[in-house]
Amino acid sequence: MTSTVPRQLVHRAAVAEVFLTGWTVSDDDRIRVFAQWPRAHSFYTPILGHYDSMLAGETVRQAGVLVAHAVHDVPLGHRFLMWDLHFAVHPENLTIGNRPADLELDVVYTEIRRSGSRLSGSYTVTARHEGRIVATGGARFTCTSPAVYQRLRNARTSTPAAAAPQAGAAFATAPTPLPPATVGRTSEFDVVLAPSETPQRWQLHANTGHPILFDHLDDHIPGMVLLEAARQAAVAMSPPGRTLVPVSMDSTFHRYVEFDSPCWIDAEPVAEGPDHPAGGIRLVGHQDGETVFGCLLTTAELTTAANG
């Protein structure tokens, strides 16, 4: 664990955004991935002495992509279609110590299907730090060749270059974002929601010049931008003065979110019940009259690092 894995194996342009440091495969095909979380991050900033739980979501994403390439021989350059991604954390185990958190991730691939170089299936991740479970998660995906992906996307002409002709500019239809403090941020640059005329509805505000959310430009808005939008919506709905951290997220991606038309995000509280004992918030994204993603999110309030 002296360096990160090659950035191409986790689909990142910046080495600084690679959280994985290695992997092993045992004789019984058990896959263990190693990761490290920095004590400070420019976007996933510490929250009252705790790691931002959104790091878990990005780590789950990276682990699945790494294993697909390094263990299941998916060629570099193949495209990943992520159908869903979920994670849950144990907030009491997210306290930041006096050194970066070195994690061990057990990754289990299930329902694997192959057709030539095409790979599809799902996987689960269990992340431990010093023997304690920090997070669990997983995703369902399809890997496909560039040629197949191009045919899939050929009907769309949405590009970040057309939407944001200058680097660092928000795409053309982006409205003024919400005040940072209302979504748990300190800089407008990090806000991904803009107000609407309807309560508990926001317009997605995606700044393609953001170095973390848009680590590299693609032909659609990344899924991690949508997860951040869900987190910020949950904070926006909470009473002022509370410090919330996502405890779980269960997200489904129905369609790509394009650059060339507004994406609207609606939220509603979910009552406590047998299926959702902690309650939560359900969010749905719409674009051009179509549902593009959904997310069920639960949060917990943090007070100080001392009480975990």
Give per-residue pLDDT as tens, 139-158: 999 999 998 898 888 766 55
Angle (CA) 255 261 266, round 5° = 65
Domain 156-308 CATH superfamily: Hotdog Thioesterase (3.10.129.10)
Whether the per-residue pLDDT at 304 is higher than 70: the answer is: no
Closest to 66 in 3D by CA, of 134, 4, 111? 4
Taking only the tens place, the pLDDT of each residue in 237-271 is 988 888 888 999 999 999 999 988 899 999 999 88
3 state DSSP class of 267: strand
The dotted CATH code for 1-155 is: 3.10.129.10
Whether the per-residue pLDDT at 272 is higher than 50: the answer is: yes
Average of per-residue pLDDT across 273-286: 81
Question: Is 14 or 306 the better-scoring residue by pLDDT?
Answer: 14
The pLDDT of residue 307 is 41
Question: Is 138 or 275 the better-scoring residue by pLDDT?
Answer: 138
Percent of the chain with pLDDT over 70: 90
Percent of the chain with pLDDT over 90: 72
Question: Looking at the chain, which residues constitute the CATH 3.10.129.10 domain(s)?
Answer: 1-155, 156-308
Cα–Cα distance between 195 and 58 in angstroms, integer? 26
Cα–Cα distance between 99 and 84 in angstroms, integer? 32
Taking only the tens place, the pLDDT of each residue in 208-238 is 999 999 999 888 999 999 999 999 999 999 8
Whether the per-residue pLDDT at 1 is higher than 70: the answer is: no
